[in-house]
Structure 1
């Protein structure tokens, strides 16, 4: 096998490979012989057709298969021989693939950049130092009460925080549109659940009244058929309910998993939850600062193919979060270009760190992470089993754990300065129970 490599610019390489015609012919003949043992051809008993007949019938197809297989295997062999690290699969350009001549082709691909790790000792990191106070606990309890409001029907006009029951029918240019009609819809006024014009029109209305409202869809609406358009809604207000907060009693405590111990035990569990949140936020702050420093200190030329893959993945993720499914509705790519570059660069940097430090995945941390993931689901054991039975899911968990181990290794060497702050400063959770 003959190999030649050309650097065509940046990280792109052009690898030309020649496989001797004899090797191609040998492989074709072997496959034809194997095929002759089982081939069923008219006029011959199974396995008894002459090789010349088999070659005439299947030779072209078998030759094409052999060429494809030899391209794949010889490319892998050439890359290994030349110690190249392709960033993604190659673009194959056939040069000579006819029978009886050397198989020649070119493979065009990008290689991974060389990552030279810089010393970590000069990195400065701020570590938040905070505690959970009684006021933080009470604020969280009030927030939890607001998550489970109680409603009582009233005869007065609707006002902010009331829950209303409505029927509605929307039209654009006199025509109905998907999702534009509904019956017995429940809406809390002032909570941003409906279009502002409708919310405003229902405020002050009483049960039994009807309203006609013109409301505009935002230009960045998930549905391109609705984005930027105005619709006229005919709305009937059927019921008004006043919102109140539930009492701090056993029924409320049990809704959050506290079945005994009363208010004091409930407060204790809330405090534990906030302390776990505090620990997670500190960890997130440290991780973010480490990644920022690694990205800043390791400027890399990045493979275009990997960056493009990440841009497309980020676009799809955003599309799914918006609740849209049509690929034609993909958001613009520009906002995702820098996040994609950062993802690719950090993946390469952390990969080199893991390799250079010879880090192996910590199985105990994998199990702890599985437990934490499963705990967020109604049936933790079932979810845990599902993860253990999925090779892809386990690879993702192990990759995340290994990344955390790499970040820990950096944190062992950086300069860390403690910075006192309140729970509110760190988490954005205010003493009024709302996020800042």
Structure 2
């Protein structure tokens, strides 16, 4: 068998493999010996079928299996012998000539195929003792805890049916039907909908027109959807809502006490406050972590400038580009609205993709040399988290991770990366800085007084950064709220 390197340009490689016909024949003969005692052919006793007849009956199928095995296994063996790692799955090329293919299957011609790939670049891991980061820490005031507890108490507040007109603070239970130009629209109808007047949950002007109504009243109100309303077919349009009030209820007195805590399944108000504080600390801690991680990545990015495999860059770009276009479509915006063009945006996102790939390779090498590993227990916890997020789909998710090549890597990669960051944090200079909540949650650049126009021009780049933030930890964002159920059209405009 001949193995010939036909291309070595930058990170690109092409290898040609030639399996002489004599070797194919030898491998075929070995397989025929293996199968002769297993096959059953009419007119022959087991094990007594002549080799020539076996070859005539099974030769092509056996050679086809041999060819598939060689194409599947040989590139991996050759890469191991060369001490190289392929950035992506090697691309296999072999003859498309039918006559030649038939001669190969008949073991009458040499098997030739080539495979192309990009190698994972080799580079020296540089010392990190020069990296310095500032870890912003928020000291949570009691007022912040009390404000959050108050919100929880408000959501659990009880209401009692009352006679008389609805006032701000009362809860109105109603049926409504929304129409634009006299035609009902999707998401504009509900029965037994509950709305606390003054909460600002519905379209501006909607709640104000319910003040003064009593149980049993019917009314047609008119509102205008905001120009920025996410449903383009409703944005900026005037709509009417046919209202039927079914109940008016007054809010009970709001008290934060042990009874409230027990209503929420907790033993005491003190325990409620403790849990709220822990949640706030966890949320701010995540933001602190992301901002520290971004500082580390920014400085690592300055330390490494090696060439990266363009196949990985293209794949990463596709992920970012898909997310950015999804965001634009959902917001109803275009690249022009972001003061850029598609060409300029592509250039920015390509740079971001290259950065992500390079940093991924750097973190991988640092972790490998540092003995960082992901345990089976950590993988199981990550899988459990996936199952927990999709109730009712546990079997499909398990089947996906069991049967999809490389799927487990999507669980391992973020765990590995966070452990590498932990390793770096133990080796670099970290200075804690107490900041306010507003300072912690400020976007990069805002603390330094970034100009409005500059921020506007930077928007596309920020969008791309956010598209990759989950994997890279680049997004210094506010603590995220849990995703709320999709609201009715009349309700979600002010959210």
Distance change in 2, residues 1:193/1:402 (3 Å): same
TM normalised by structure 2 equals 0.64
Which structure 1 residue ranges, 5 or more long, are not aligned?
325-331, 429-433
Question: Is the CA contact (8 Å cut-off) linking 2:372 and 2:416 kept in structure 1?
Answer: yes
Counting only pairs closer than 5 Å after superposition, residues 406-417 of structure 1 correspond to structure 2 as 406-417=420-431
**Counterpart contact for 2:177–2:241, Cα < 8 Å:** yes
Could you say what secondary structure the match of 2:262 adopts?
helix
Equivalent positions of 1:22-37 (< 5 A) are 22-37=22-37
SS of corresponding position for 2:79: helix
1:3-402 equivalent positions in 2, closer than 5 A:
3-7=3-7, 9-39=9-39, 50-95=50-95, 98-99=103-104, 100-151=108-159, 156=165, 165-168=174-177, 183-185=191-193, 196=203, 200-201=205-206, 203-205=208-210, 206=213, 207-211=217-221, 235-239=241-245, 246-259=254-267, 262-313=268-319, 334=346, 337=350, 340-361=353-374, 366=378, 370=381, 399-402=413-416
Partner SS state of residue 425, structure 1: helix
Decide whether the 8 Å contact of 2:200 with 2:207 is kept in 1. Answer: no
Change (3 A) 1:212 1:44: farther
Give, in whole Å, the separation in 2 of the partners of 1:14 and 1:44: 48
420, 425, 433: which one aligns with 2:434? 420
Distance 2:15 2:194 in 1: 64
Describe the shift of the 1:218–1:402 C-alpha distance in structure 2 as closer, same or farther (beyond 3 A): same
Indicate if the aligned counterparts of 2:205 and 2:223 stay in contact, CA closer than 8 A.
no
Residue matched to 1:431: none
How far the C-alpha of 1:340 sits from its partner, in A, is 4.0
Q: 1:165 to 1:173 in 2, by over 3 A?
A: closer
Aligned to 1:101, the other structure's residue is in SS state: coil
For each residue in 1:163-196, what CA deviation from the matched residue of structure 2 results, as whole angstroms up to 9, or x when unmatched?
A: 664443668997x8876765445567787866x5
1:40: how far off? Answer: 5.1
CA distance in 1, matches of 2:227, 2:31: 63
SS of 1:168 mapped into structure 2:
strand
CA distance in 1 between partners of 2:290 and 2:431 (Å): 16
C-alpha spacing 1:313/1:148, structure 2 compared with 1 (3 Å): farther
RMSD (CA atoms): 4.8
Cα distance in 2 for partners of 1:90, 1:173 equals 60
Partner of 2:486: none
Q: Give, in angstroms, the shift of residue 107 of structure 1.
A: 0.6
TM-score by length of 1: 0.71
- Does the CA-based 8 Å contact 1:169-1:182 persist in structure 2? no
After superposition, the Cα gap between the structure-2 partners of 1:337 and 1:212, relative to the gap in structure 1 and judged at 3 Å, is farther
| Aligned-partner SS, 1:204 | helix
Residue aligned with 1:15, SS: strand
- Partner of 2:87, secondary structure, is coil
Gaps of 5+ in 2: 331-341, 443-477, 481-495
Q: Distance in 2 between matches of 1:304 and 1:109?
A: 10
Deviations 1:396-415 (A, max 9, x none): 66544432332233223433
**CA separation of 1:394/1:11 partners in 2, compared to 1, >3 Å: closer, same or farther?**
closer
- 2:334 corresponds to which residue? none
Give the aligned partner of residue 329 of structure 1. none
Secondary structure of the residue that 2:218 maps to in structure 1? coil
Cα distance between partner residues in 1 of 2:238 and 2:310: 47
Q: Is contact 2:178–2:185 with CA below 8 Å preserved after alignment?
A: no
Aligned length: 403
Deviations 1:280-312 (A, max 9, x none): 443333222212222333234332322333344
Q: Distance in 1 between matches of 2:225 and 2:355?
A: 40
After superposition, the C-alpha distances for 1:260-284 in whole angstroms (9 at most, x for unaligned) are: xx43443344334434445444333
Report how far residue 420 of structure 1 moved: 2.2
Q: Which moved further from structure 2: 237-246 or 410-419?
A: 237-246
* Partner Cα separation in structure 1 for residue 238 and residue 57 of structure 2: 69
Residues 178 and 86 (structure 1 numbering): CA distance in 2 closer, same or farther, change over 3 Å? farther
